Amino acid sequence: MRIIKRLGIGLGVIALTLAGLYYSGYGGDLAFRAFLAYSQPSKEFDASTAVAEPNYGDPINWAALPGEIDPADLVPAGVDETAQTEKSVDTFFIHPTGFMRSNTWTSPMDSNSGTEENTLWMMANQASAFNGCCNVYAPRYREATIVSYFGETDLRNEVLGFAYEDVKRAFAYFIEHYSQGRPFVIASHSQGTHHALRLLEEMVDARELRERMVAAYLIGGIVMPATHKLLDSMSNISACTDAEQLHCVVHWDTMAEGAPTDLFGLARPADSLCTNPLSWQVNEIMVTAEKNAGAVFPEGTYNAALGKGKDTSTAQQFETLPAPLQQHTWAQCRDGWLVVQDQQGSEFDKSDTVDASGNYHMLDYSLFYMNIRNNAKLRVNRYMAR
């Protein structure tokens, strides 16, 4: 098994890179601004300079398809599962930020790159959690560079809006050509969650599609999380409040007990939705580790090099997932965050997956992998039993 050399997923990478300067107080703000000034591709985003929009009729533009062999097929050691093509329900998975470079505002979608390997990492360690309930579909898209999150708000929204249009087209293609009228789950992480929330608002909530949506696992929104206000504004979709509720949303952002809750001065809504994946309830009751069905140590190496430079592939393969680590951590929602046991000194710490600042963004799936897997199966079974 290859290990993660440094914190990789989404905003957690930035946290690791800058934590020392920021939390020590030694020029944190100046260093952060200098990093942004250097790393931004330009002061403006020009959509005409992006690569051509992906054709979702071509399987090459899907990171996971049920009829293809891909890392979303992986199953933890010791867990039995039937083939995806035998499932009666689909999952549409929107992957998080894998484009860590910033030569351009959006990913060039190079099949031989570190970004592509990061997408496959996400298929192996996140999307695979849903192959127990569903056939997994995951589009590649012209995702926004990680740097776009830390610039001016209007510019960030413009770049993310551009990326969202790819996701929207992919979902429309999925519904028309792949879904065949089957029920579906929507799942995501980080940048994928930002797009998924908008997708629910525009494509699902006010349409008959909402009746086919089993549930939405929109995890790790962090700077732009799912909020109670946003869900209250929807006509038909709400937050899940128990383990079997349908047509609803679950969401959490993970942090270590005692960790600071600010992220380099980035504002975070106070009413962020926190679903405890050990109870699937929205409250601040601590749930003990006995309810943790299994954390799963990530497979492969995440390419975490930031800023401008070559987006180099390491030619790695994603081949196995280890057996789940049962009863690995407790969990408790506090002020919109999912607080867990400090992972320093744990199995995850041995592979440098633990951010010393306590931001466990990259562990949102890993620490609760089997709970997610089992709950998705439970909700699907309840939906089908109706």
Contact 18, 307 (CB under 8 A): no
Tens digits of residue pLDDT in 264-299: 556 678 899 999 999 999 999 999 999 999 999 999
pLDDT of residue 31: 62
Nearest-angstrom CA–CA distance, 76 and 151: 38
Percent of the chain topping pLDDT 90: 74
Over the stretch 151-186, which tens digit does the pLDDT of each residue have? 788 999 999 999 999 999 999 999 999 999 999 999
Cβ-based burial of 16 (10 A; exposed 0-12, middle 13-18, buried ≥19): buried
User: What is the rounded CA–CA span in Å between residue 101 and residue 307?
Assistant: 5
User: Comparing 84 with 266, which gets the higher pLDDT?
Assistant: 84
Instruction: State the Cα–Cα distance between residues 208 and 133, nearest whole angstrom.
Output: 22
- Condensed to tens digits (0 to 9), the pLDDT of residues 313-369 reads 999 999 999 999 999 999 999 999 999 999 988 988 876 667 777 889 999 999 999
Q: What was the pLDDT predicted at 17?
A: 47
pLDDT-based confidence at residue 4 (cuts at 50, 70, 90): very low
Both tokens assigned to 132 = 């127990």
Position 357 scores a pLDDT of 77
What pLDDT digit, counting tens, does each position of 8-56 carry? 344 444 444 444 333 333 344 556 556 666 788 888 999 999 999 999 9
- In 3-state terms the chain splits into helix, strand, coil percentages (rounded to 5) of 35, 15, 50
Structure tokens at 7: 């914190």
